[in-house]
Structure 1
């Protein structure tokens, strides 16, 4: 758990470390979102986030690179590194600082910095964020809190073969026919990583991903005749065959590390585990009689059709831009042509 660095007041319930989700900063505008983190978990953001912000023109290329930004942006964060994010329901012993609770329209967006104070000594220790377009979070300031043992037994890190992939899978379409916000963020995050891994060469997406969103994301990929092929690989996926150029693999939900093939040198591109699992697991088969008709006296109960999206897939453009800008290899000479195209008109 985490306690106040000043007075030792408990600020969280017992929590276990997991990977920072790919969709952390990317929600849907004018929509209220659920908590980002699962109960009893926390994640750490190693890069600077939040205020203060400085304009790119005032910062310069190399100082911006020191902040983890490698492409021109409107502004660069000079906020804290290693901030800790938890679900609001896991917070304890904190009170709102009312004069720092500004937001856009439906909640608090953290624009004024820490807005939660320790209930024991009053020092600002965290930032609550829950405005529209934001996943509900509480961000603990690394210099204002410290981690202490909770006394609860440690949760072991599961191996790849211990993960329940079916339970991890996230459907691309919600029950109301809207696209999953997690998919809309996770897919462009993976595409940015794929562009860099391909060094700007055109690439063909794996069939299941191309069938779902291929047309919607084509503008984010390098243009030209396909030169490389991306394939899905990982635990539970079909065995690898020779000829794959790039492997789209899952990120471990706890460590955040990508799955690695037992042999081979093909580059791997991490993809959100929930999205990856949906793509590789076999679809559900509706129950149907093999032959004949239903027995007499059995009432008909049609198998429900899967939800259909009410509109075309819309990748989260800022998720793509931000991810691309935070990949150091985007500055490699091989990607110059793509960078020049990216800085001009495009789907972003």
Structure 2
């Protein structure tokens, strides 16, 4: 049997932290107390105007490759999960491949599943590896969400940040990703979306993120609990076998409610949204890498990663690290 295991992790955050008070100083009508009480977020990172998702992704990728003790040329598949690509085309993954100097002709493509994007990319890469067609994949979540925020909408602009996280997934004789599940229901697209488009070289419609917060909360808590149980059942495991839950970092109340449904204490949940904000597809690999480098997540432990995002999309994976 061929399995897919995480061999290395990496991440990158642009610039210095931007606190809630910094946002107030920039003229946003809000307060630190208002933001923290509703989301748990205290600061986030925002990329400079000349920095794209591929720039963040490359640094995270280089760190993951170094941690995996391989070279860039060893990577034969690159999947980048992003909703904020550098260009309409080529893909951000193609730009990452070029910037890493990889010339081996391996496959590259982007995945657009918003905040579930990293879980989608991880699951797809695992299937490529288990099929035997590829040996080493780079799966990246990279976002510059600050580019699609309406900075006059205090209900949304204070929640998001920019960043990138990456893992190297490689073929192994030992099990790594034990089970995964992906889902979507496009009928809920209106409660979290950027309803703009491009036609004849012009942006059409609304180019900014729009969200019905209460509807998103209810939907997210429901499907995150369901998909976690689905993956555990698929693997023949119980929730008490999980050493760490690493959820998408959207809102502390969603994270707490999901952990409660699984019977997992918050002491076993990795949270970074207080200092990262919601970085969409980047949030899970960012949190994973921070936990690995802090010595929390260690080899031999069992992880559950899960995310839910606009689309609506959702998914989870159970991993032996």
TM-score, with normalisation over the residues of structure 2?
Answer: 0.24
Q: Which has the larger Rg?
A: 1
* Structure in which a larger fraction of residues adopt strand: 2
Higher relative CO (Cα under 8 Å, sequence separation at least 6) belongs to 2
